């Protein structure tokens, strides 16, 4: 029986820009509804050498069993929490991700959410759009202290946390952090416990990976 050419399997839909960067000589299949193994025939599954997925999508032993010639699990973005990494390594399957690829974009959004919360931007926008300014005073919303001088505690000073800290510094905020270990070469104060950081901070920014190691760390 003729062996099929190696193929790339997409676990979910991806932007056209990503698809354009794939080698046009290698066939691409998918995405399929979850679970993938229910929708991918045996011969087609055996041809899959690369799985392109996202960290939130479960990629465990059952799927790997169905893809016997899988060699690479490529996670789009920084997350890989859905991948059973130990199982992949046991099978000789490489797992990759891009931890710094979207750090700046996430940090931008974190600061946007911070500003929206602290300056009541969403509430004030609704106040104006609903015409409430015609019958109510907006003084309560307008007298709000800004970010300058406020103490921001960053839980997790990884790629995203560091970029949040840089942006917070531009707002003249006081910055401190807590993580698994002290980061060498950063100018921010380190707190040995999350409790200590929370007690010090006016604002607690969570920038850690969402997995079981920190589940319910903030209650």
Least confident of 4-8, 26-30, 43-47, 48-52: 4-8
Residue 1 has pLDDT above 50, yes or no: no
Q: How crowded is residue 47: how many other Cβ atoms within 10 Å of its Cβ?
A: 20
- Supply the DSSP string of 29-70, one letter for each residue: E---PSSGGGTS-HHHHHTEEEEEE-TTS-B-HHHHHH-TT-
Kindly state the average pLDDT of the residues 94-101: 88
Quick one: how far is CA 190 from the chain centroid? 23
User: Using one digit for the tens of pLDDT, what is the confidence trace for 127-179?
Assistant: 888 888 777 776 665 657 889 999 999 999 999 999 999 999 999 999 999 99
User: Using one digit for the tens of pLDDT, what is the confidence trace for 53-83?
Assistant: 998 899 999 999 999 999 999 998 888 889 9
Reported as a pLDDT band with limits 50, 70 and 90, residue 92 is very high
pTM of full prediction above 0.95: no
Pairwise CA distance, residues 81 & 171, whole Å: 33
Reported as a pLDDT band with limits 50, 70 and 90, residue 2 is very low
Higher pLDDT, 6 or 194: 194
Give the burial string for 198-210 (b: 16+ CB within 10 Å, else e): eebbeebbebbee
């Amino acid at each position: 029986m003729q062996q099929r050419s190696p193929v790339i399997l997409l676990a979910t839909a991806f932007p056209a820009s990503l698809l354009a960067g794939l080698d046009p000589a290698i066939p691409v299949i998918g995405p399929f509804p979850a679970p993938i193994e229910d929708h991918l025939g045996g011969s087609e599954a055996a041809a899959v050498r690369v799985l392109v997925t996202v960290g939130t999508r479960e990629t465990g032993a059952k799927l790997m069993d169905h893809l016997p010639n899988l060699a690479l699990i490529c996670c789009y973005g920084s997350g890989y929490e859905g991948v059973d990494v130990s199982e992949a390594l046991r099978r000789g399957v490489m797992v990759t991700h891009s931890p710094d690829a979207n750090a700046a974009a996430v940090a931008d959004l974190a600061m946007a959410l911070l500003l929206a919360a602290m300056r009541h931007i969403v509430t004030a926008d609704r106040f104006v759009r609903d015409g409430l300014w015609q019958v109510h005073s907006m003084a309560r919303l307008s007298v709000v202290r800004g970010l300058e001088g406020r103490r921001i505690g960053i839980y997790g000073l990884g790629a995203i946390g560091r970029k949040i800290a840089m942006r917070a510094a531009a707002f003249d905020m006081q910055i401190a952090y807590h993580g698994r270990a002290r980061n060498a070469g950063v100018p921010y104060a380190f707190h040995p416990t999350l409790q200590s950081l929370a007690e010090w901070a006016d604002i607690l920014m969570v920038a850690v990976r969402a997995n079981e190691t920190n589940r319910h760390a903030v209650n």
